[in-house]
Amino acid sequence: MTGGDRGVLDWFATHTHGRPVTAIPCDLDPDWILAYLKGIGNRTDTLELLRPGGYDGYSDFPTYGVRAGRTLEPRDVSMNRVERIGEVVTAFESFLHDRPELAGTKLQLSQPHPLDLAMFVHAGGAVASGLPVGLALRRSNLARTALQQLPVYTEAVLQEMREVRRRYGDLIVWQVETPISLLAMVKAQQLGALWALAPMVAGQLAGFLEKVHDVDHEHGIDTETVVHLCYADYQHESLLSPRNLAPAVALLNRTGRRLAERNVPIPLVHIPCAYGAHPAPVDPGFYAPLRALAPDWRVIAGVVSTDDAERSAQALALFEQAGNMTAYGVAAACGFGRNKAEEAERGAATIASLVRAPEGSHG
């Protein structure tokens, strides 16, 4: 995908293969938050480097702390994307002008969950493949710092979203991305502690979604938000390998109940089935927990592999059978941002072939 923002938008529009869409994505960073994390290293007035890292793998992420005597403020951790988003909006408006058949389509932008931002900035030194318990316990002070500073990250994100809403109204749909939420649940399942961790993790996710909903209403807007779950995909490796979809179901059911209690619309959700370099399983047991998923959730099935269309179709069938549903949309497990062009082409073609009911579906 080349040609700047306009090239990305044109690529996605072309590869919908005529399927109606509600939003066209244009990521600001194909590596999710890597550019943000590298930029954090330049904010030395309030933050200090506790542990260096060269990003050669999950165990090589740096860790930052707050300098003694300083108080972390939203401006210290802001993603500073408002002007960059403006550039994307300009390209999107030109794109819509040239494609009148897409009138009413929204621009989808990724928004990392503040929990993920805080954890990767302050607890990067506690991350390694498999999320080993020993390492987490030895460096538990890092996670405590991240959770203590979470309100600051949340306000930084909300301030940016308020300004974007003020400038561009309801043109943008936010895709809230949170691998940390799902990874925490997968680790809890491994430890037999889903019951204990689910309320806290779901509460944090629901709390943030409530605040996003408040931002919309503050500006008289009623838009859809998409929640994107994944198992992390740095260098095409997952941090954890899930046994089944029980962690995702536990997270979503608790999140959905909290949102319903507060009259917050339940968003679309992307449930990943593939992880890292592994394609989506074709074992019915992997998908069986979907039978317990609350019916309020409209689900995008993250089952598509870029190199195996037949297996992707099998996985989608198992997904829908287990959940007794028709998936609202079909997608890859973690987007195409880190794929080679030919891989993305194959993945997009597979997605288009699997979308059987185009009305209101996401290509």
pLDDT at 292: 98
- pLDDT per position as a tens digit, 218-269: 887 777 899 999 998 777 778 888 999 999 999 999 999 999 999 999 999 9
The span from the CA of 296 to the CA of 54, in Å, is 42
The per-residue pLDDT of the chain, averaged, comes to: 88
237: left (phi over 0), alpha (psi -120 to 50) or beta: beta
pLDDT at 363: 44
pLDDT at 125: 76
Burial 22-32 (b: 16+ CB within 10 A, else e): bbbbbbbbebb
Count of CB atoms within 10 A of residue 122's CB? Answer: 29
The span from the CA of 270 to the CA of 279, in Å, is 16
Of residues 13 and 47, more confidence is placed in 47
- For the segment 170-185, the average pLDDT, to the nearest whole number, is 94
pLDDT at 267: 96
pLDDT at 357: 46
CB-based contact 146:126 (threshold 8 Å) = no
List, in order, residues 6 or more apart from 227 with CB less than 8 Å away.
175, 176, 178, 205, 209, 267, 268, 269, 270
